[in-house]
Structure formats: structure tokens, C-alpha cells
Amino acid sequence: MINYHTEYMNTGIHLEYKELRSISPKAARQAVLQILASNKGNITQTAQMLNVTRRTIYKALKKKSANKLDDTSTAPHTVHNKTAFNIEEIVVKLKEKTNYGPVRLQEELYESSGISLSSHTIRNIIRRNRKTKTKKCRRHNRSNRPFVDWYSSQAFEVVQIDLKYIIDQKALSASQIAHVIKHDLPLYQWSAIDVASRFKLMAYSREKSWTNELTWFLWVTSWLRSHGVTVRIMYTVDHGVEFGGDCWYKIVELRRLLKGFGCFIIQNRKKHPEENAHLERSHKTDDDEFYIPRIHTITTQGQFYKEAFNYLYYYNCVRKHSSLSRIPPYSHLKKISSGLDDTIKYVPPIFLDGISSELGAWSGYNVLAQYRK
């Protein structure tokens, strides 16, 4: 063991206790005890040599008697207002069952168990009992993209569009994926969401194709225009091949097509899903509240259509959204806009494969061969 006092006296090197403590608290206290022993227990002289307070020396002696020279936790031994363990257990189980956020958990907890907790308390309970840490995302290089002002946009001025792969292994279990494949249910969900109101439209297909994408844009635009939406619609999409990807002439053709309907399209930057944040978040809701709890009960396409229609109505007209002050999207839509046809809320989740084939070769691309009549 190094004799710090000898080193100090012979070399004239000043031992910085704070610097040594930043490297190792245990080594710093061992140095204090050695110098104290060489000073024959003179606490004042030891404190002066190390340029520390006498209290630091007494603390090192106390930790030596407890045989714990390392730093101990500064957390209090007793928290008087801490939530009871059995209540925390109920909150954690409800979170695992529903995967709701703190606000919705607060409401569900009160309705199901009569337990009243604040959303902040529930958030802290969930954080304390979190089993996995959040994965850090690596930043990617920026690219040019027109600025989209989400927060000052009016109803349907900014509409995010994306494609969801339903049988994603990160969302569904192996048995659920096998069930979808076995019963030949749709594999892709096409979604469009209004940023201002969170009002959502959905469609399905068995194939991911450019023809289906064109049909989807026409369907969304015609549904909105036929129900009283007159504003200039700005669509935002990612770089998926079904939306044109890096193929410039497809993007030019799509912009030319949409321009005739008073619409415009913007491509988000590559590997930046946050630029379609509202729609990406809604996909998680689709998994948690539709596919995961319901997919095993669906065996036919007709049944799938009914379940999807009911879910879409629930999402738009019943489900309370935290970002909208706990009211459904359609209720918020009526508050911020006027002149809309009330039937806009009955959005049918159409199947694109058959529709795109019946439209014919209007786009200049071959339609889906297996659906051609």
C-alpha cells in the first residue's frame, strides 16, 4: 500500500483529496486514514495537510469503523409519501395489460379499482418499474426539406401518410402472425392522419405497390373533397418505394396528379420517422388496441372489414386523445372547422388491391396481375 504521507514529505507533491476522490472515493479515504495514522491521530494537522475540513476526517473514521469506505446511497431510508407497494403492483400490472400512458392509466385505475393517483405519480411508478431502458437513436445527416408548421395548421392542411406492415415481429407474437398468414388476411395498412385534429383514414392491401399507393392518394383526396374539405392539402410521406422513394419521375407524376385536386406532397428526410410523428404514434395504438387484442378472433376478410370499420370509428369518435385535451378527434375537428359533412366520420377501411385493378391501366403502370379480370 502506498504511504501517501511519505510521498508528500519527501517529494513536496501536494495531494489533492478532491481530485483523488473524483477517481475513487475509497482510495481517497484510505489516503486520509494513512496520513492520519502518520500524524498520530492529529485530526487538525491532517485536515490542514489535505486542505479539507475536520468533518471529512471524522467521516473517514466513521466509515472505517463500519468497514465501508465506499460512498453509500444518498436516497432516504424512509419515504413518508411513497405509494404503497400493493398499489404500485396494480399500476404496473395495468400498464402491462393495456400499455396506456399515465393519463389514461389514471382514468382506468379509478374506474376499475377506485384508486385515485395523479398522472405524475403513475408516471414515476412506471419509470421505477421499467424493465428495459429506452434505446438511444443515432442522429443522421440532415437534408433539405420544406418546413412544415404542424402547430398553426388548420384542419386537413397537413395530412401525414404512411404504410404499416401489420405482421411486424416487434408488435405481434408468432402465433398472431401465423394466424394472419393462415387466414389470408391483409398484410399492409395504409394510413392518413390529419395533424390538427388527429382524424384518421385507413385502407388495406395484400401487396405493397405503386399502383395501390396512387389509388390510396386518390381515395383519401376524394373522400375529403366530397365531405366539404376545401383547403389546400399538404401530404407528407417517407422515402418508401411505394411512395416513389428515390425515383424522381414517380414523385413528379404524383405531384402532377395531386395538383389537379389542390394538393401538394412533401417527402420527409431519410431515416427521420419523427417527421411523420403523429401517424407513427397512431400505429402503436393500432397494435395495442386493435391487432393485438382482436386479430385472433378474425378469420375472414368480411369479418376483418367489420372489425376495422368499428375500430376506425372508435379511434375517430370515441377514443379520448391526450393531445386533444381528452376528447376524440372528430369532436375536436368539429370545434376547429365548419362546413364539413357529418358523414365524414363513417370512414370505410377499403381494400385497395381489387379497386386498383378495376381502375385499369390509368396510371401507366401494370396493375396487380393476380387481381386482373
Split at pLDDT 50, 70, 90, the class of 355 is confident
Share of the chain above pLDDT 70, in %: 89
In a domain, 286, yes or no: yes
How is residue 252 written as a grid cell? 413528379
State if pTM tops 0.85.
no
**The total number of structural domains that make up the chain:** 3
Region 189-214: mean pLDDT is 93
Range(s) of the domain holding residue 297:
158-371
- Summarize pLDDT for 116-156 with one digit per residue, the tens: 999 999 999 999 888 755 555 565 555 577 788 888 889 99
Mean pLDDT of 252-279: 90
SS (H, E, C) the chain: CCCHHHHHHHHCCCCCHHHHHHHCHHHHHHHHHHHHHHCCCCHHHHHHHHCCCHHHHHHHHHHHHCCCCCCCCCCCCCCCCCCCHHHHHHHHHHHHHHCCCHHHHHHHHHHHHCCCCCHHHHHHHHHHCCCCCCCCCCCCCCCCCCCCCCCCCCCCCEEEEEEEECCCCCCCCHHHHHHHHHCCCCCEEEEEEECCCCCEEEEEECCCCHHHHHHHHHHHHHHHHCCCCCCCEEEEECCCHHHCCCCHHHHHHHHHHHHCCCEEEEECCCCCHHHHHHHHHHHHHHHHHHHHHHHHHCCCHHHHHHHHHHHHHHHHHCCCEHHHCCECHHHHHHHHCCCCCHHHHCCCCEEHHHHHHHHCCCCCCCCCHHHCC
Q: Check whether residue 172 and residue 26 sit in a common domain.
A: no
Q: Quote the pLDDT of residue 24.
A: 87
pLDDT above 90: percentage of residues in the chain: 51
Residue 371 has pLDDT above 60, yes or no: no
Domain check: are 56 and 205 in the same one? no
Q: Give backbone dihedrals phi and psi of 160, rounded to 5 degrees, phi first.
A: -90, 135
Q: Which residues pair with 265 in a beta bridge?
A: 235
Q: Per-residue pLDDT for 51 more than 80? A: yes
In a domain? residue 326:
yes
Which residues touch 301 (CB under 8 Å, ≥6 apart)?
A: 184, 185, 186, 351
| 194 lies in the same domain as 113 | no
Kindly state whether residue 183 falls inside one of the protein's structural domains: yes
Mean pLDDT of 339-357: 90
- Mean pLDDT on 73-94: 85
Q: Which of 50-64, 239-253, 327-341 has the highest mean pLDDT?
A: 327-341
- Please indicate, yes or no, if residue 199 is contained in any of the structural domains: yes
Q: What is the mean pLDDT of residues 218-227?
A: 94
- CA 265 to chain CA centroid, Å, is 24
pLDDT on residue 159: 96
Does residue 86 have a pLDDT over 70? Answer: yes
172 and 264 co-located in one domain: yes
Report the alpha-carbon distance of residue 58 to residue 372 in Å, rounded.
Answer: 88
> Residues 115, 163: one domain?
no
Tell me the average pLDDT of the chain: 86
Is 231 in the same domain as 282?
yes
Are residue 44 and residue 110 in the same domain, yes or no? no
User: What one-letter code names the amino acid at 316?
Assistant: N
Q: For residue 71, which amino acid is it?
A: D
Lowest mean pLDDT among 3-17, 47-61, 80-94: 3-17
Residue 119 lies in a domain: yes
- Whether 74 maps to a domain, the answer reads no
- Is 148 a domain residue? no
Identify the band that residue 15 occupies on the pLDDT scale cut at 50, 70 and 90: low
Check pLDDT > 90 for residue 205: yes
Residue 183: pLDDT above 70?
Answer: yes
Residues 179 and 56 occupy one common structural domain? no
pLDDT for position 299:
95
Residue 79 has pLDDT above 80, yes or no: no
Over range 184-213, report the average pLDDT. 94
CATH number at residue 305: 3.30.420.10
Lowest mean pLDDT among 52-61, 309-318, 363-372: 363-372
pLDDT of the residue at 143:
54
Q: Are 36 and 96 within one domain?
A: no
Both 224 and 347 in one domain: the answer is yes
The answer as to whether 273 is a domain residue is: yes
| Confidence category of residue 359, pLDDT binned at 50, 70, 90 | low
Is 58 found in the same domain as 16? yes
Same domain, residue pair 212 and 106: no
